[in-house]
Structure 1
Amino acid sequence: MNYSTYFSTNTTDYIAKDLIGRMLTFDNGQEKLGGYIVEAEAYMGKKDRAAHSYGGHRSPANEGLYGKGGTIYIYGQRQYFFFDVATRVQNEPQGVLIRAIDPTLGIETMIKNRHGKDGVLLTNGPAKMMQAFGIHDKNWNLHFLSDSPFAIDLDDRHKKIPQEIIAAARVGINQSDPVWANKKLRFYVAGNPYVSDMKKRNYETNNGWA
Protein backbone atom coordinates (compact mmCIF):
# COMPACT_ATOMS: atom_id res chain seq x y z
CA MET A 1 0.00 0.00 0.00
CA ASN A 2 1.33 3.47 -0.84
CA TYR A 3 1.60 6.30 1.66
CA SER A 4 -1.25 8.37 0.20
CA THR A 5 -3.72 5.53 0.45
CA TYR A 6 -2.58 4.34 3.86
CA PHE A 7 -2.60 7.74 5.54
CA SER A 8 -5.76 9.16 3.97
CA THR A 9 -8.08 6.16 4.22
CA ASN A 10 -7.45 5.06 7.83
CA THR A 11 -8.39 6.92 10.99
CA THR A 12 -5.60 8.66 12.88
CA ASP A 13 -5.98 6.58 16.04
CA TYR A 14 -5.96 3.39 13.94
CA ILE A 15 -2.77 4.53 12.20
CA ALA A 16 -1.01 5.35 15.49
CA LYS A 17 -1.68 1.81 16.70
CA ASP A 18 -0.97 0.15 13.35
CA LEU A 19 2.43 1.84 13.04
CA ILE A 20 3.63 -0.03 16.12
CA GLY A 21 6.08 -2.68 14.89
CA ARG A 22 6.72 -1.01 11.54
CA MET A 23 10.22 0.04 10.54
CA LEU A 24 11.05 3.76 10.44
CA THR A 25 14.31 4.65 8.69
CA PHE A 26 16.27 7.80 7.87
CA ASP A 27 18.85 7.74 5.08
CA ASN A 28 21.63 10.20 5.98
CA GLY A 29 23.30 9.82 2.58
CA GLN A 30 25.81 7.23 3.77
CA GLU A 31 23.66 4.67 5.57
CA LYS A 32 20.17 4.01 6.82
CA LEU A 33 19.47 4.63 10.49
CA GLY A 34 16.34 3.36 12.16
CA GLY A 35 14.35 0.76 14.00
CA TYR A 36 10.91 -0.55 14.80
CA ILE A 37 8.33 1.96 16.01
CA VAL A 38 7.41 1.11 19.61
CA GLU A 39 5.47 4.22 20.68
CA ALA A 40 3.21 6.63 18.79
CA GLU A 41 0.53 9.19 19.64
CA ALA A 42 -2.54 10.23 17.66
CA TYR A 43 -3.61 13.87 17.45
CA MET A 44 -7.18 14.20 16.24
CA GLY A 45 -7.19 17.66 14.71
CA LYS A 46 -9.44 20.66 15.22
CA LYS A 47 -11.53 19.10 18.01
CA ASP A 48 -8.49 17.79 19.95
CA ARG A 49 -7.43 20.29 22.62
CA ALA A 50 -3.94 18.76 22.67
CA ALA A 51 -3.40 19.09 18.91
CA HIS A 52 -1.41 21.93 17.37
CA SER A 53 -4.36 22.42 15.01
CA TYR A 54 -7.00 22.67 17.77
CA GLY A 55 -9.84 24.99 16.81
CA GLY A 56 -8.50 25.25 13.26
CA HIS A 57 -5.30 27.03 14.30
CA ARG A 58 -3.10 27.32 11.24
CA SER A 59 0.28 29.00 10.82
CA PRO A 60 3.55 28.44 8.94
CA ALA A 61 4.74 26.48 12.00
CA ASN A 62 2.02 23.79 11.79
CA GLU A 63 1.32 23.82 8.05
CA GLY A 64 2.61 20.25 7.76
CA LEU A 65 -0.46 18.98 9.61
CA TYR A 66 -2.67 20.45 6.88
CA GLY A 67 -0.89 18.56 4.12
CA LYS A 68 -2.22 15.41 2.52
CA GLY A 69 -1.76 12.18 4.46
CA GLY A 70 1.90 11.18 4.36
CA THR A 71 3.22 14.76 4.66
CA ILE A 72 6.00 15.18 7.22
CA TYR A 73 5.37 17.62 10.06
CA ILE A 74 8.52 18.44 12.04
CA TYR A 75 8.23 20.92 14.87
CA GLY A 76 10.71 22.28 17.35
CA GLN A 77 10.63 23.05 21.06
CA ARG A 78 13.73 24.87 22.30
CA GLN A 79 16.62 22.94 20.72
CA TYR A 80 14.60 19.72 20.27
CA PHE A 81 12.80 18.46 17.18
CA PHE A 82 9.89 16.04 16.77
CA PHE A 83 8.71 13.87 13.87
CA ASP A 84 5.03 13.67 12.93
CA VAL A 85 3.17 12.51 9.85
CA ALA A 86 -0.10 14.04 8.66
CA THR A 87 -2.75 11.35 8.50
CA ARG A 88 -5.83 12.60 6.68
CA VAL A 89 -6.76 14.34 3.44
CA GLN A 90 -5.43 17.82 2.74
CA ASN A 91 -6.73 20.53 5.10
CA GLU A 92 -7.93 18.02 7.69
CA PRO A 93 -5.10 18.59 10.19
CA GLN A 94 -4.60 15.34 12.06
CA GLY A 95 -1.33 13.54 12.64
CA VAL A 96 0.73 10.94 14.46
CA LEU A 97 3.80 11.72 16.56
CA ILE A 98 6.43 8.98 16.53
CA ARG A 99 7.73 8.88 20.08
CA ALA A 100 10.26 6.02 20.12
CA ILE A 101 11.91 3.26 18.11
CA ASP A 102 13.64 0.00 19.04
CA PRO A 103 16.87 0.63 17.09
CA THR A 104 18.23 -1.93 14.64
CA LEU A 105 20.02 -0.04 11.81
CA GLY A 106 23.04 2.25 12.03
CA ILE A 107 23.31 1.95 15.80
CA GLU A 108 26.98 3.02 15.96
CA THR A 109 26.23 6.20 14.01
CA MET A 110 23.18 6.92 16.15
CA ILE A 111 25.32 6.57 19.31
CA LYS A 112 27.76 9.12 17.87
CA ASN A 113 24.87 11.43 17.03
CA ARG A 114 23.71 11.10 20.64
CA HIS A 115 27.22 11.96 21.90
CA GLY A 116 27.88 8.50 23.29
CA LYS A 117 24.50 7.81 24.85
CA ASP A 118 23.54 4.21 24.14
CA GLY A 119 21.25 1.46 25.41
CA VAL A 120 17.67 2.54 25.97
CA LEU A 121 18.73 6.20 26.14
CA LEU A 122 19.53 6.07 22.44
CA THR A 123 15.97 6.44 21.12
CA ASN A 124 13.54 6.25 24.08
CA GLY A 125 11.82 9.55 23.36
CA PRO A 126 10.81 11.66 20.35
CA ALA A 127 13.60 14.26 20.63
CA LYS A 128 16.21 11.56 21.35
CA MET A 129 15.12 9.68 18.24
CA MET A 130 15.60 12.76 16.08
CA GLN A 131 19.01 13.45 17.64
CA ALA A 132 19.97 9.83 16.93
CA PHE A 133 19.08 10.42 13.28
CA GLY A 134 21.33 13.50 13.32
CA ILE A 135 18.44 15.90 12.72
CA HIS A 136 18.70 19.37 14.29
CA ASP A 137 16.42 21.40 12.04
CA LYS A 138 13.10 21.39 10.20
CA ASN A 139 14.54 20.97 6.70
CA TRP A 140 12.28 18.01 5.90
CA ASN A 141 9.12 19.63 7.24
CA LEU A 142 6.33 19.79 4.60
CA HIS A 143 7.96 17.12 2.40
CA PHE A 144 5.98 14.05 1.44
CA LEU A 145 7.45 10.88 2.92
CA SER A 146 8.38 9.39 -0.44
CA ASP A 147 10.21 12.63 -1.37
CA SER A 148 12.34 12.57 1.76
CA PRO A 149 15.11 10.48 3.39
CA PHE A 150 12.51 9.08 5.79
CA ALA A 151 10.64 5.85 5.11
CA ILE A 152 8.03 3.80 6.93
CA ASP A 153 7.74 0.19 5.81
CA LEU A 154 4.04 -0.49 5.23
CA ASP A 155 4.59 -4.07 4.07
CA ASP A 156 2.81 -6.24 6.64
CA ARG A 157 5.22 -9.08 5.91
CA HIS A 158 8.03 -7.04 7.49
CA LYS A 159 6.06 -5.88 10.50
CA LYS A 160 7.31 -6.93 13.95
CA ILE A 161 4.48 -8.23 16.13
CA PRO A 162 4.23 -7.14 19.78
CA GLN A 163 2.97 -9.50 22.44
CA GLU A 164 0.70 -6.67 23.57
CA ILE A 165 0.00 -3.08 22.53
CA ILE A 166 -1.05 -0.77 25.35
CA ALA A 167 -3.39 2.20 24.79
CA ALA A 168 -2.79 4.99 27.31
CA ALA A 169 -3.08 8.74 27.81
CA ARG A 170 -0.65 10.89 25.84
CA VAL A 171 2.46 12.34 27.47
CA GLY A 172 2.69 15.89 28.80
CA ILE A 173 -0.85 16.96 27.90
CA ASN A 174 -2.33 19.91 29.79
CA GLN A 175 -4.74 18.59 32.40
CA SER A 176 -6.96 21.70 32.19
CA ASP A 177 -9.07 19.64 29.79
CA PRO A 178 -9.18 16.23 31.46
CA VAL A 179 -11.29 14.67 28.70
CA TRP A 180 -8.64 15.09 25.99
CA ALA A 181 -5.76 14.78 28.44
CA ASN A 182 -6.91 11.30 29.41
CA LYS A 183 -8.02 9.94 26.03
CA LYS A 184 -6.11 6.76 25.25
CA LEU A 185 -4.40 7.94 22.10
CA ARG A 186 -0.84 6.82 22.89
CA PHE A 187 0.05 3.29 21.79
CA TYR A 188 3.15 1.38 22.79
CA VAL A 189 4.70 -2.08 22.99
CA ALA A 190 4.13 -3.45 26.50
CA GLY A 191 7.45 -4.03 28.23
CA ASN A 192 9.66 -2.56 25.51
CA PRO A 193 12.57 -0.72 27.17
CA TYR A 194 12.68 1.95 24.45
CA VAL A 195 9.17 3.20 25.27
CA SER A 196 9.74 6.67 26.70
CA ASP A 197 8.61 6.11 30.29
CA MET A 198 9.06 2.36 30.61
CA LYS A 199 10.27 1.31 34.07
CA LYS A 200 13.02 -1.31 34.33
CA ARG A 201 10.81 -3.53 36.44
CA ASN A 202 8.36 -3.73 33.52
CA TYR A 203 10.88 -4.75 30.85
CA GLU A 204 9.80 -7.88 29.03
CA THR A 205 12.08 -10.54 27.63
CA ASN A 206 12.65 -10.07 23.91
CA ASN A 207 11.66 -6.39 24.40
CA GLY A 208 7.97 -7.31 24.34
CA TRP A 209 7.97 -8.75 20.82
CA ALA A 210 6.09 -11.96 20.09
Structure 2
Amino acid sequence: MKLPAAFYQRPDPVQIARDLLGKHVFSCLDGQLTGGRIVETEAYAHLGDQSMDMHLKRRGTHGHALREIGGRAYLYQVYQRHTLFNISTNAADKTDTVLIRAIEPLVGLEVMLERRGLTEASPKLTAGPGVLTQALGLTPALTGTDLQGDTLWIEDYGEEVPEEQVRRSARVGLAYAGAEAANLPWRFRIINNKWTSPAK
Protein backbone atom coordinates (compact mmCIF):
# COMPACT_ATOMS: atom_id res chain seq x y z
CA MET A 1 0.00 0.00 0.00
CA LYS A 2 1.38 3.43 -0.94
CA LEU A 3 2.07 5.75 1.94
CA PRO A 4 -0.76 8.32 1.99
CA ALA A 5 -0.05 11.99 1.40
CA ALA A 6 -0.85 12.67 5.06
CA PHE A 7 2.23 10.65 6.09
CA TYR A 8 4.50 13.25 4.49
CA GLN A 9 2.47 16.28 5.51
CA ARG A 10 3.09 15.92 9.23
CA PRO A 11 5.01 18.84 10.80
CA ASP A 12 8.03 16.90 12.12
CA PRO A 13 10.59 15.85 9.46
CA VAL A 14 12.71 14.10 12.10
CA GLN A 15 9.88 11.75 12.98
CA ILE A 16 9.11 11.18 9.30
CA ALA A 17 12.76 10.30 8.64
CA ARG A 18 12.61 7.78 11.49
CA ASP A 19 9.30 6.35 10.31
CA LEU A 20 10.57 5.82 6.75
CA LEU A 21 12.99 3.13 7.93
CA GLY A 22 11.65 -0.23 6.78
CA LYS A 23 9.38 1.26 4.11
CA HIS A 24 9.92 0.30 0.45
CA VAL A 25 10.68 2.79 -2.32
CA PHE A 26 10.00 2.06 -5.99
CA SER A 27 10.60 3.67 -9.35
CA CYS A 28 9.00 2.65 -12.65
CA LEU A 29 10.81 4.20 -15.63
CA ASP A 30 10.46 3.01 -19.22
CA GLY A 31 8.52 0.03 -17.92
CA GLN A 32 11.37 -1.05 -15.62
CA LEU A 33 10.38 -1.52 -11.97
CA THR A 34 13.13 -1.18 -9.39
CA GLY A 35 13.04 -0.72 -5.66
CA GLY A 36 14.14 -1.67 -2.19
CA ARG A 37 13.79 -1.28 1.57
CA ILE A 38 14.79 2.05 3.07
CA VAL A 39 17.57 1.51 5.63
CA GLU A 40 19.01 5.01 6.11
CA THR A 41 17.57 8.55 6.10
CA GLU A 42 18.37 12.11 7.19
CA ALA A 43 16.02 14.90 8.24
CA TYR A 44 16.29 18.61 7.42
CA ALA A 45 14.09 21.34 8.89
CA HIS A 46 13.15 24.90 8.02
CA LEU A 47 13.37 25.87 11.69
CA GLY A 48 16.47 25.42 13.85
CA ASP A 49 18.59 23.98 11.03
CA GLN A 50 21.15 26.35 9.52
CA SER A 51 22.04 23.81 6.84
CA MET A 52 18.58 24.16 5.27
CA ASP A 53 18.87 27.96 5.15
CA MET A 54 22.22 27.69 3.41
CA HIS A 55 20.96 25.03 1.00
CA LEU A 56 18.05 27.19 -0.13
CA LYS A 57 20.33 30.15 -0.74
CA ARG A 58 22.67 28.03 -2.87
CA ARG A 59 19.92 26.34 -4.87
CA GLY A 60 17.83 29.44 -5.57
CA THR A 61 14.77 28.77 -7.69
CA HIS A 62 15.69 25.10 -8.13
CA GLY A 63 14.61 24.54 -4.53
CA HIS A 64 10.98 25.24 -5.47
CA ALA A 65 10.01 21.57 -4.92
CA LEU A 66 10.85 21.98 -1.24
CA ARG A 67 8.15 24.64 -1.02
CA GLU A 68 5.45 22.29 -2.25
CA ILE A 69 3.17 20.36 0.08
CA GLY A 70 4.67 17.25 1.61
CA GLY A 71 4.94 14.18 -0.58
CA ARG A 72 6.86 15.48 -3.61
CA ALA A 73 10.29 14.36 -4.79
CA TYR A 74 13.09 16.90 -4.63
CA LEU A 75 16.04 15.73 -6.73
CA TYR A 76 19.16 17.78 -7.27
CA GLN A 77 22.74 17.19 -8.32
CA VAL A 78 25.92 17.63 -6.30
CA TYR A 79 29.51 17.69 -7.60
CA GLN A 80 28.01 17.70 -11.12
CA ARG A 81 27.52 13.96 -10.96
CA HIS A 82 25.50 12.63 -7.99
CA THR A 83 21.72 13.05 -7.76
CA LEU A 84 20.21 13.15 -4.26
CA PHE A 85 16.64 12.00 -3.57
CA ASN A 86 14.78 14.08 -1.00
CA ILE A 87 11.10 14.13 -0.09
CA SER A 88 9.30 17.36 0.76
CA THR A 89 7.42 17.18 4.06
CA ASN A 90 5.10 19.38 6.12
CA ALA A 91 2.78 21.99 4.60
CA ALA A 92 3.44 24.08 1.51
CA ASP A 93 6.15 26.73 2.06
CA LYS A 94 7.49 24.84 5.10
CA THR A 95 10.82 23.75 3.65
CA ASP A 96 11.26 20.51 5.60
CA THR A 97 12.62 17.45 3.85
CA VAL A 98 13.95 13.92 4.28
CA LEU A 99 16.95 12.62 2.35
CA ILE A 100 16.89 8.93 1.44
CA ARG A 101 20.50 7.85 2.04
CA ALA A 102 20.47 4.08 1.44
CA ILE A 103 18.22 1.19 0.45
CA GLU A 104 18.44 -2.59 0.49
CA PRO A 105 17.84 -3.55 -3.17
CA LEU A 106 15.01 -6.04 -3.62
CA VAL A 107 13.21 -5.50 -6.94
CA GLY A 108 14.68 -5.20 -10.43
CA LEU A 109 18.17 -6.19 -9.31
CA GLU A 110 19.47 -6.83 -12.83
CA VAL A 111 18.28 -3.42 -14.00
CA MET A 112 19.93 -1.72 -11.03
CA LEU A 113 23.21 -3.57 -11.61
CA GLU A 114 23.18 -2.49 -15.25
CA ARG A 115 22.52 1.14 -14.36
CA ARG A 116 25.40 1.07 -11.89
CA GLY A 117 27.78 -0.80 -14.20
CA LEU A 118 28.18 -3.63 -11.69
CA THR A 119 28.13 -7.40 -12.15
CA GLU A 120 27.06 -8.49 -8.67
CA ALA A 121 25.10 -7.08 -5.78
CA SER A 122 27.17 -5.46 -3.03
CA PRO A 123 26.75 -2.38 -0.85
CA LYS A 124 28.29 -0.40 -3.73
CA LEU A 125 24.95 -0.83 -5.48
CA THR A 126 22.66 1.25 -3.25
CA ALA A 127 24.51 2.07 0.02
CA GLY A 128 24.73 5.82 -0.38
CA PRO A 129 22.52 8.67 -1.57
CA GLY A 130 24.33 9.18 -4.89
CA VAL A 131 24.42 5.51 -5.89
CA LEU A 132 20.86 4.58 -4.91
CA THR A 133 19.47 7.24 -7.23
CA GLN A 134 21.56 5.90 -10.09
CA ALA A 135 20.31 2.37 -9.36
CA LEU A 136 16.69 3.59 -9.32
CA GLY A 137 17.20 5.69 -12.48
CA LEU A 138 16.40 8.97 -10.72
CA THR A 139 17.55 12.31 -12.15
CA PRO A 140 16.82 15.97 -11.39
CA ALA A 141 14.28 15.89 -14.24
CA LEU A 142 11.96 14.04 -11.84
CA THR A 143 12.00 16.76 -9.19
CA GLY A 144 8.45 17.70 -8.18
CA THR A 145 7.12 14.18 -8.85
CA ASP A 146 4.09 13.37 -6.71
CA LEU A 147 4.79 10.24 -4.66
CA GLN A 148 1.14 9.23 -5.06
CA GLY A 149 1.76 8.53 -8.76
CA ASP A 150 3.16 5.56 -10.65
CA THR A 151 6.66 6.86 -11.44
CA LEU A 152 8.17 7.12 -7.97
CA TRP A 153 6.48 6.08 -4.73
CA ILE A 154 6.90 4.50 -1.28
CA GLU A 155 4.95 1.54 0.10
CA ASP A 156 4.26 0.37 3.63
CA TYR A 157 4.53 -3.39 4.12
CA GLY A 158 3.64 -3.16 7.79
CA GLU A 159 7.20 -3.43 9.09
CA GLU A 160 7.97 -1.46 12.22
CA VAL A 161 11.70 -1.13 12.91
CA PRO A 162 12.10 -1.28 16.73
CA GLU A 163 14.01 1.53 18.42
CA GLU A 164 16.76 -0.80 19.60
CA GLN A 165 17.61 -1.48 15.95
CA VAL A 166 17.94 2.21 15.04
CA ARG A 167 21.16 4.23 15.27
CA ARG A 168 20.76 7.99 15.50
CA SER A 169 23.79 10.12 14.64
CA ALA A 170 24.92 13.42 13.14
CA ARG A 171 24.20 14.02 9.46
CA VAL A 172 26.93 13.74 6.86
CA GLY A 173 29.00 16.59 5.43
CA LEU A 174 27.49 19.56 7.26
CA ALA A 175 30.55 21.09 8.90
CA TYR A 176 30.07 24.14 6.66
CA ALA A 177 26.76 24.88 8.40
CA GLY A 178 28.26 25.29 11.86
CA ALA A 179 28.53 23.01 14.87
CA GLU A 180 24.90 23.31 15.96
CA ALA A 181 23.50 22.08 12.64
CA ALA A 182 26.30 19.60 12.05
CA ASN A 183 25.73 17.88 15.40
CA LEU A 184 21.97 17.44 15.23
CA PRO A 185 21.29 13.66 15.58
CA TRP A 186 18.99 13.53 12.58
CA ARG A 187 20.57 10.66 10.66
CA PHE A 188 18.82 7.31 11.08
CA ARG A 189 20.26 3.90 10.21
CA ILE A 190 19.20 0.32 10.80
CA ILE A 191 21.93 -1.18 12.98
CA ASN A 192 24.10 -3.91 11.42
CA ASN A 193 22.45 -3.56 8.02
CA LYS A 194 25.16 -3.92 5.36
CA TRP A 195 23.26 -1.67 2.95
CA THR A 196 23.68 1.51 5.04
CA SER A 197 26.29 3.98 3.85
CA PRO A 198 29.66 4.04 5.64
CA ALA A 199 29.86 5.85 8.96
CA LYS A 200 32.08 8.93 9.12
- Using the size of structure 2 for normalisation, the TM-score is 0.89
**What residue is the counterpart of 1:202 in the other structure?**
none
Cα distance between partner residues in 1 of 2:28 and 2:143: 16
Shift of 1:133: 1.4
Cα distance, 1:119 vs structure 2: 0.9
**Greater shift in the superposed pair: 164-173 or 139-148:** 139-148
How far the C-alpha of 1:191 sits from its partner, in A, is 0.8
Q: Secondary structure at the match of 1:144?
A: coil
- SS for the counterpart of 1:142 is coil
RMSD: 2.2
Once residues 154 and 68 of structure 1 are traced to their aligned partners in structure 2, the CA distance between those partners, rounded to angstroms, is 20
Cα distance change on mapping 1:26 and 1:55 into 2, 3 Å: closer
In structure 2, the gaps of 5 or more residues are none
Q: Structure 1 residues 170-179 or 96-105, which shifts more?
A: 170-179
Counterpart of 1:208 in structure 2 is none
* C-alpha distance in 1 between matches for 2:70 and 2:95: 9
Cα distance change on mapping 1:32 and 1:187 into 2, 3 Å: same
- Helix, strand or coil for the counterpart of 2:148? helix
Give how far 1:27 is off.
Answer: 0.9
Match of 2:179 in 1: 178
Match status 1:99 vs 2:97: no
Structure 2 distance, partners of 1:120, 1:96, is 21
Determine helix, strand or coil for the equivalent of 2:86: strand
Matched residue type, 2:125: L
Q: Which residue, out of 100, 120, 126, partners 2:129?
A: 126
Contact 2:26 2:153 in 1 (8 A): yes
Which piece of structure 1 moves more, 85-94 or 143-152?
143-152
SS of the aligned residue for 1:184 comes to coil
Per the TM alignment, residue 85 of structure 1 is displaced from its structure 2 partner at its CA by 0.4
1:113 to 107, 112, 115: 115
Runs of 4+ in 1 over 6 A off after TM superposition: none
2:154 corresponds in structure 1 to 152
Deviation, 1:198, is: 5.2
Given that 2:89 and 2:96 are in contact with CA atoms closer than 8 Å, whether structure 1 keeps it comes out as yes
| TM-score using structure 1 length | 0.85
Deviation at 1:180, TM superposition (A): 1.1
Matched, 1:60 2:61: yes
Question: 1:139 offset after TM fit, Å?
Answer: 1.5
What amino acid maps onto 1:196 in structure 2? S
Tell me which residue corresponds to 1:37: 38
- Identity in percent: 28
Equivalent-residue separation in structure 2 for 1:125 and 1:55 (angstroms): 20
* Secondary structure in 1 matching 2:66: helix
Which residue matches 2:83?
81
Deviations 1:55-80 (A, max 9, x none): 97473211111110001111111111
For the Cα contact (< 8 Å) 1:26–1:32, is it kept in 2?
yes
Query: Cα distance, 1:189 vs. partner?
Result: 0.3
- Number of residues of Structure 1 aligned to a counterpart in Structure 2: 195
- AA aligned to 2:16 is I
**Offset of residue 161 of structure 1:** 3.3
